[in-house]
Each structure stands twice: as C-alpha cells, then as structure tokens.
Amino acid sequence: MDLESLLPTLLGLAWLLPLASFALILFAGPRLGDHGKGAAGVATAAIVGSFVLSLLALVSWVAEHPVHAVAHDDHGGAHASADGSADGSADGSADGSADGSADGSAGSPDSHDAPSSHGSESAHQTVDEGAGHVGQPVSYSGDWYTLYEGGRLRLTIGWYVDALTVLMFVMITFIATCIHVYASGYMHDELHDITDHEVHLADGSHLHRPGRFHRFFQALSLFCFSMLGIVIAGNLAMVFIFWELVGICSWFLIGFYYERKSASNAANKAFIVNRIGDFGMLIGLMALWGALGTLHFADSTGLDGHARLGLFSLVRPPEAGHAQWVPDGMVKFAAAEKVKAVLRSHPEDPRAGVEQVEAKVEDWRDEGYGRWLLLVAGLGIFCGCIGKSAQFPLFVWLPDAMEGPTPVSALVHSATMVAAGVYLVGRFYPVLTPDALLVIAYVGAITLFIAATIALVANDIKRVLAYSTVSQLGYMMLALGVGGWLAGLFHLVTHAFFKSLLFLCSGSVIHACHTNDMRKMGGLAKVMPWTSGTMLVGCLAIIGAGVPFLDIGLSGYYSKDSILAQALLFARENPSHSILFYAVAGGAMLTAFYMFRLWFMTFAGQPRDHHVHEHAHESPPVMVYPLVALSVLAVVAGWTLPGGFGIANMIDQARPAGTGGTELGGLLFRAFTVPAEHASHAPDIHVTASLTAFATAASGVLLAAAMYVWRVIPPAAVAAAAKPLYTFLANRWYFDEIYRFLFVLPVLGMSRLVSATDTGVIDKFIEGLAWGAKQVAGFDAWLDRTFIDGFVNGTANATWHAGLELKKLQTGQLRQYVMFIALGTVAIFVLAGLLLHSSFAG
Amino acid sequence: MMGLVLAPAMVASLATCLATVPLFAVNPFTEPVGVVHYLFVGAVLFTAGIACMTLKRNALGILMGIELVLNGANINFVAFASPYLRAEGAPTLGLDGQVVALFVILLAAAEAAVALAITLNFYNNHATVDVDRADDLKG
C-alpha cells in the first residue's frame, strides 16, 4: 500500500476505535465485569489499539519522508517534487478505481493530494521552482463521505494528514493510553458504592451512590474519538463538529461528580464560556463559507469530478509562490456594490458583465477590498480557540474545570483538548493575516502573564497546575502570533507530555493525601519517592531546564527557547512590540517560581500536617508506570537525534506553504513585520534567548528555594508586605467577580425581569382567559342541565309512566288474554268487513 | 261443574253461529248437505273451543278448548278437500286438506304432551291447576 491510502486507513481506524469502545461501554457498561470493571479494559484496549495504529502511521510516514535536520533547505524541495511525481501515479490509479465507487466509502481511494487535482501541472512547477525557500508541505487529503454537494458548496467527512497530524495522533494516543492505565487505578473507588463526603443532603447525611466506573471510561473513550476527529479533520466544518463534541465530553467529565454543586457549576461554566468563543468561530466559518464556498483545507475533487480549491490554495495561491493574498471570492464579496454596478451596466450581455467583474477583481484587491473579511475570518476562528484554549478573556473556566477527576484534568484540560485551540491556530495558520497574528500574540501575552501571576499564590495543587496550563497555552499562542509556527506547535507537543505528567503526579499526591491543599502537605518526598521524582522531572521540563551552551536539556528547554528566540526576534524587528518579549521572559521566571514553589511545598521540608503525612503512601504500580513513561518522554521529547530526527524537525515538515517567510502587516496596527522563523536560529538571537531563559528560570527556582526551603525570605512576610497585591492575586484578579458583575448579574437580573413579566403579565392574562372560559363553560353547563337534560329526562319520564300504566294490561290472566285475542280478532273482522262493505258500497 | 260451564258455552256458540244464518244467501236448513253445513259445524266447534278457553279456570279444561278449536279447523280442511262435496269440474285441492288435518292432529298430540307437562309442573309447584293462579307474568 502506498502512503496515500495507507495513512487514512490507519489513522481512520485509530480514530474510530475509541468510538467502538464508547458504543460498547454505552450499551454494555455495567455488565462488563464486576461493577463494570471491564470497561477500563475495553477503553484501554481501544486506545492502545489506536496508539499502535498511530505508531504504524508514524513509522510508515518516516520511512517515506525521512526527517531531516533542517527542513526548509533544498532537501525539502527535493522531497516535495519526488512526492509530487509519486502522487501523479497514485492519482492515475485512483481515478481509475474511483469511477466505480464514487461515493467515497471509508478507505476508498477517491482521495486526491493537494497538488494532484486538475490543473496540477502548473502547481507542481511552482512548487519545484519555489522549493528552495518555501517548501510545499507533504500532505494527503481526501474524503471518506460526502454529506452534501450542490453548486460550489460541498460538505464532507474527510481527512487532511501531514506530519503534524501523524505526530498529534501519536502524542494524543500515547498520553491517553497512559491516562487510561492510570485512571483504572485512580478511579477504583467508583467500583463499588461510595459515599461522597462533599455532598451534604438535607438531612445532614452524606450522599451515598453507586459507583460510576464504566461511565468514566465511556466519556473518556468518546473524548478520545472526538479529539482525534479534530486532528484528522479535512475541513473546518468537521473540525467544528468535533470541537463541540470534545466540549460536551469535557462537560461530562468535569461534571463527573455532578452531585457536588461546585462540579456541576464548573461543568456548566466551562460549557457556556466555550459557547461564547464558538459564537465567534461560527462567524469566522460563515465568513469563509459565504465568501469562498469551501471549508476544505486542501484542494479536493467533488463527486461531479470538478476540482475545487481549498482554503490554503485560495488564500496562498501556489502560482504566486504561496504568498498570502485576499481570494477573489472575498474581494467580490466585499465589493458587492461594485460588482452589482458592473453587472447592471451590461444588461444585454450578462457574460460580458461577468468578464468585466473578473477583470476588475485585481484592481479591487489592490484597493483593499476583502482584507477586513479575511481578518474577520481569521479572528473568528481564533475566537473559538480563545474559548477552547482558555485564553484571555475566556480563561476563567479552566481552573474551575479542575473539579473533574484528576486523570481528566491531565488528559482533557491540560494535554489535549485545551491544546486543540493552539492546534487549530497552527492548522489554520496560512489563512491568518499578520494583523490577526499580532492580535493572537497579544492575547497570548496577556493570558500567560495573568495566569502566571495567579499561579504564584494559589494553594490548591491542581489550581496551580491549571493556571500553569493557561499560562503555557498563552505561550503557545504568543509563539504562533509572533511568527513562531514551529515553536508554538513544538511547545504544544512537549507541554502535553510534561503537563499530563505533572497532573498525574498531583493526582497521585491527592490520592495519597485526600486533599488538594498544598499547605497541608510537605515532606512527601520520602514516602512517595516515585511521584516526587517524576514530578521533579516534570517541573524541570516545564521551566525549560537545560545547559545553554551545550544545548542539552529537557523537552521544555527546546520549545521554550525557540519561543523566546522568536519573541526576541519579533521584538528586535518591531521595537514598539518588544513588550511581547518581556512578557515571555517574565513569564518564564514566574513559571519557574510557582512550579518549584509547588514542588517544595508538597515534597520538601517538614510535614505540615501530620495526620495527612501519616496516611500518605506511594501509589500502586498501575499509577506509577504511566508516570515513569510520561517522565521519560518529558525528558526526551525535545531531543533531536544525530541524523536530524526529532519532533521539531518532523513538525517542520508540515509547515504550511509560504509561512516560513517574512510577512508585513498593518491593517489594524502600525506597520510591523512578522519575521521568518528560521531567522531566529541566528546565533546572536539564539544565544541571547537561551541565556535569558536560563537566567529567568534559575532566578525563579532560586527565589522559590529561598522562600520555601531555606526560609531566607518568609512567604508570609512577603504576602504581608505586598498585601493589596497578594489579595488581588489570591482573588484571581477578581475576574470571576468582574464577570459576575458585568455579565452574570445583568443576565440574572434580566431573567428575573422576564420571569416577573411572565408571572405578572402573561400568566395573569392567560389566567384571565381561563377564568372567562370557565364562566362561559358554567353557563353552557346550566343550559345543558336545564334544557337538554330536561328534554331527555322528560321523555324518559313520560315513557316510564306510560310503561307503568301499560303494564297494568299485563294481568297474567291466561283466560283474559284469550279473550282479548278472540275479541280482537272479531273486532278486526268486523272493522275489515265494515270498511270493505263501505268501500264496495261506495 | 264442568257441564254447568260447558253447556252455556255450547249454547252461546250455537246461538252466535245461528245468528250469522241470515248472512248466507240461501237457507241452509232447506238445502242438501254441502260444504256450508260442515263449515257451520266447524264454526260451532271453534266458537265452543274459544268459549271454553276463555271461561274455564281449570288448565285441563283450557286444553280441551284448544282441542275443540283445532278440530273445528280440521273439519273445515277436510270439508274443503272432500271430492263428494263439490260440483263436477270444480278446481280440486286433491288430498291436501286431509294431509293438513292429519298434520294438525299430530301437532295437537305434541302440543298436548307439552301442555300437560307444563300443567303437571305447575301443579307440583302450586298444588292447583287453576290458571287464574298462574299470574306470575303479571306486569
């Protein structure tokens, strides 16, 4: 099998396996083993299967497209052209067989790689010519099933697979596997009836309920399916569908302990806040769909055999060397008035009018028509990412989401789902204008700073990690915004490993201590050696520990350095935006401080609460193994092997065509430059960035050690000295209160008003109507009883009395009857005789 | 007792029938015996039967009255069917009248059996055969 048909098969199966597991647990959940214990096995088997399939896909990918040290040199171009010819032959065979099975059932080869559709020759030429600098990424795309096709509009279930997709699959399935294994140990309480001590019933007792072990794994499987669906999606409509599906899974899982008021509130909050972002996303989708008529990433071929350009080639046409421009559709959409005027000036010959419109598009584009539309499309999609990736101002849901079980926090709310927003920005990168990127960068900077400051004073171990997650997501967004496409996505992958590791470690601690409060912990390193060791690895990874000049470090070192380098480059190119660099550097120090504050408070020093300390114990092996596996990856995920193989270089294979270069912006802001990413590898930038990273991280760690280990600076004194600031941070910048005041209370007030209107006016009106109807009915009833019933009853009465009288005739006297018969007969004869007689006589 | 009641019944019926004589076109008493005379006897029997049924309180007497009624009818059947009592060439009924008469006798026997059974039952329940006492079906 060639890669073209192999990848969709492998990844499609890997995608559907968790769905099968979900369906099985849904229908047979409680019957799977003792108390649904088998559900964990089913879900784990499915995700392990997905992981194996993803690994196979990775291996076959690497075999076909070897990962080189620097992908944007001439090698990349050579690969693109070699791949192009291979695609050509694949395309021929695909066309032959696609005629018969046109409807695109799963795995059928009606797929078309981006450059292999109609008119592909010119595209190939451009790729080969421009390969020296802007390599065409190797990607495969196609459709499994066409939902709708009519006119130029087309909706499909399809795939878009490139190096990033494959890598995300491996990353997601690997972490999900670890977390499934971990959760089968962590959730064992749910295997029998449990008493929830956090729920107080009306009679003062605690809630007693059956365990929901299988339900947990059911939602987890559905989540894996949905998350993989986002990654493999070939068009934005499909992304949106799975976007919402992961949202609902998140809702299920945050609200897993839904009897707790806090959990159900947190679940609702997450869901509602995400809807706000999704509203923006819908606007972006509508802008694209309305103006361009497609949501496909890559070029595709419809059922009618016509090629349709995808978003990528519309916004960055291969003929123009993948330089970004406003597509014709958007120009015409924005200049609708002018188009109408032109068409109206040719009433006799519509075709000439259309031709003239086509001829004028170029002028209109130069005049700037459609630029705003493209910006709105990009920012709209980014709005969805703001909600899902918990960016300012919608980040408030993520810390509350920690009400869910810890494995969920590790998988959904740190490693995968919240990273989906970053992933989508990365995937959608070619369509984002420089102005949109700058907005993204600022949003990321604000987010990372706010979240990092809140994490400084949080005492709940999971909340520290949650704010750390928000902050790191801000890092990724900022990196993407300042042109660091690779840096942002690289950090996404490395962060997924060490943040899921950190969450699982915190889960292990919570499992042992039965509390989230770090003030009750301390000195746990002795009783929990594995947990503390792996957590230390995680902390070192997240602060980017490494040796600057040898260029060796944990995974976070590489990704964070590249973000810093890119931010520094951006700041040098655009001095007016140098605050972005300071945000990154300052954030790095804050990260180091709060992460090691967490570690020191939890594991180092003397136990603060002896009751907690005495009961603490190392977690069972089923929970420790995933920690070890993840910590290994947290160390090595950033490494590049001598041959050039490494996650960073592999991601770079998927770099969208045309985005490696310098971009100029200036629609929203004063003119600025988005620098090319490879320029950040320049020695002066790189070394400065490394040293900055090292210095900030080291100072953060030292400060944390000074405050929490050596006790040189007592934390309480610091808090007292900066009391207003401490209160401000401890209250999380009053975001919840502000939102409550600005949005929740007005909405509640309005609903109360509406409710009062409902009960006071509408209900009164309805009740009045009902009263009137009742009166009319009463009159009707009187009429009925008096006249109609009277008539009926009277008739019955008369009949009754007539019967009573008539019955007197029935004497029972036999002889009398005979007499009647005889006399009656005679009477009849006499009457008949008289009548006949008179008639004869007459 | 029985004779006392029956005799006036017979007389009354005979009188009734005789009262109808002026309705006839010819005088029966001067004519040779023909169908009319048989009809006359049948009518007397029939009327006597009716009178018997009406006037007698004894169930058995009523049964006798029924027999009289039936046989009055039988005489009519036989008379109309008899070949000796009609003019030459008149349309004939053949033996139909005799057959029906036999049939009536048969039915009378069957009816008598049923009626006697009812009477016996009634006697068993009420220790009497007075039909005036059998007024359970009074309205």
pLDDT band per the 50, 70, 90 thresholds, residue B8: low
In order of A531, A600, A604, A628, A651, the CA distances from A617 in angstroms are 10, 18, 16, 17, 40
Cβ neighbours for A779, distance < 8 A, ≥ 6 positions apart: none
d(CA A223, CA A239): 14
Residue of A812, A813, A818 with shortest CB distance to B53: A818
Predicted confidence (pLDDT) at residue A36 exceeds the cutoff of 60:
yes
Structure-block tokens of residue A566: 């890119």
d(CA A623, CA A606): 25
Of A209-218, A317-326, A393-402, B103-112, the one with minimum mean pLDDT is A317-326
Q: What is the pLDDT of residue A139?
A: 87
Predicted confidence (pLDDT) at residue A649 exceeds the cutoff of 90:
no
d(CA A705, CA A506): 20
For residue B89, give how far its alpha carbon lies from the nearest alpha carbon of chain A (Å).
30
d(CA A418, CA A415): 7
Choose from A805, A815, A829, A834 for mutation: most chain B CBs within 10 A: A815
Q: What is the pLDDT of residue A17?
A: 95
For all residues of chain A together, what is the average pLDDT? 84
Q: What is the pLDDT of residue A103?
A: 38
Smallest CA-to-CA distance from A412 within A242, A223, A232 is with A223
Cβ neighbours for A66, distance < 8 A, ≥ 6 positions apart: A645
In order of A683, A781, B82, B84, B114, the CA distances from B74 in angstroms are 147, 68, 12, 17, 21
d(CA A291, CA A609): 63
Peptide bond into A393 cis (omega under 30): yes
Predicted confidence (pLDDT) at residue A466 exceeds the cutoff of 90:
yes
The answer to whether position B139 is within a domain reads no
For all residues of chain B together, what is the average pLDDT? 83
Calculate mean pLDDT across residues A661-676. 74
Number of domains in chain B: 1
Question: How many degrees, rounded to 5, is the angle at CA A172 between CA A168 and CA A174?
Answer: 115
Calculate mean pLDDT across residues A678-682. 80
Top-confidence residue, A785 or A307:
A785
Contact of A441 with A481, CB cutoff 8 Å:
yes
d(CA A787, CA B112): 57
Predicted confidence (pLDDT) at residue A333 exceeds the cutoff of 70:
yes
Cβ neighbours for B130, distance < 8 A, ≥ 6 positions apart: B57, B58, B59
Cβ neighbours for A195, distance < 8 A, ≥ 6 positions apart: A206, A207, A208
pLDDT band per the 50, 70, 90 thresholds, residue A479: very high
d(CA A171, CA A131): 29
User: Could you read off the pLDDT of A362-379 as tens digits, one per residue?
Assistant: 888 888 888 889 999 999
Contact of A660 with A676, CB cutoff 8 Å:
yes
Own/partner pairs for A204-211, CB < 8 Å, 24+ apart? A207/A259, A209/A259, A211/A35, A211/A36
**Tokens 């042992």 sit on residue:** A512
Q: Is this prediction's ipTM beyond 0.85? A: no
Q: Which residues in chain B touch residue A804, judged by CB atoms under 8 angstroms apart? A: none
B54 touches chain A (CB under 8 A): yes
The answer to whether position B123 is within a domain reads yes
Predicted confidence (pLDDT) at residue A549 exceeds the cutoff of 80:
no
Smallest CA-to-CA distance from A658 within A424, A165, A316, A328 is with A316
Read off φ and ψ for residue A524, nearest 5 degrees.
-80, -10
Of A59-68, A80-89, A230-239, A366-375, the one with minimum mean pLDDT is A80-89
The answer to whether position B37 is within a domain reads yes
Listed in sequence order, the DSSP H helices in B56-137 are: 59-81, 96-126
Q: What is the pLDDT of residue B3?
A: 54
Would you call B54 and A815 a contact, using CB atoms and an 8 Å cutoff?
yes
Q: What is the pLDDT of residue A113?
A: 39
List, in sequence order, every residue forming a beta bridge with A307; answer none if it has no partner.
A301
pTM here? 0.73
Neighbouring C-beta atoms of residue A500, cutoff 10 Å: 30
Indicate which CATH number applies to the domain containing B110.
Answer: 1.10.287.3510
d(CA B30, CA B20): 16
Calculate mean pLDDT across residues A92-98. 37
User: Could you read off the pLDDT of B49-62 as tens digits, one per residue?
Assistant: 988 888 888 999 99
pLDDT band per the 50, 70, 90 thresholds, residue A77: very low
Q: What is the pLDDT of residue A78?
A: 35
pLDDT band per the 50, 70, 90 thresholds, residue A615: confident
d(CA A586, CA A449): 8
For residue A798, give how far its alpha carbon lies from the nearest alpha carbon of chain B (Å).
18
pLDDT band per the 50, 70, 90 thresholds, residue A315: confident
Q: What is the pLDDT of residue B9?
A: 67
User: Could you read off the pLDDT of A1-16 as tens digits, one per residue?
Assistant: 688 888 999 999 999 9
Top-confidence residue, A496 or A107:
A496
Predicted confidence (pLDDT) at residue A281 exceeds the cutoff of 70:
yes
Q: Which residues in chain B touch residue A810, judged by CB atoms under 8 angstroms apart? A: 137-139
User: Could you read off the pLDDT of B26-52 as tens digits, one per residue?
Assistant: 676 777 788 888 888 998 899 889 888
Q: Which amino acid is at A457?
A: V
Neighbouring C-beta atoms of residue A459, cutoff 10 Å: 14
Structural domain boundaries enclosing B121: 2-133
The answer to whether position B138 is within a domain reads no
B56 touches chain A (CB under 8 A): yes
Question: Do strands A139-150 and A153-162 pair parallel, antiparallel, or not at all (unpaired)?
Answer: antiparallel
User: Could you read off the pLDDT of A554-611 as tens digits, one per residue?
Assistant: 898 999 989 999 999 988 888 888 899 999 999 999 999 999 999 999 888 888 888 8
Calculate mean pLDDT across residues B59-86. 88
Calculate mean pLDDT across residues A283-294. 90
Burial A351-365 (b: 16+ CB within 10 A, else e): eebeeebeebbeebb
**Tokens 């990433």 sit on residue:** A297
Contact of A466 with A409, CB cutoff 8 Å:
yes
Q: What is the pLDDT of residue A15?
A: 94
Contact of A362 with A701, CB cutoff 8 Å:
no
Q: Which residues in chain A touch residue B62, judged by CB atoms under 8 angstroms apart? A: 814-815, 818
Smallest CA-to-CA distance from A233 within A153, A318, A157 is with A157
**Which three-class secondary structure state does DSSP give residue A537?**
helix
Q: Considering chain A, what percentage of its residues have pLDDT values greater than 70? A: 90
d(CA A161, CA A112): 12
Structure-block tokens of residue A683: 């020695």
Would you call A810 and B138 a contact, using CB atoms and an 8 Å cutoff?
yes
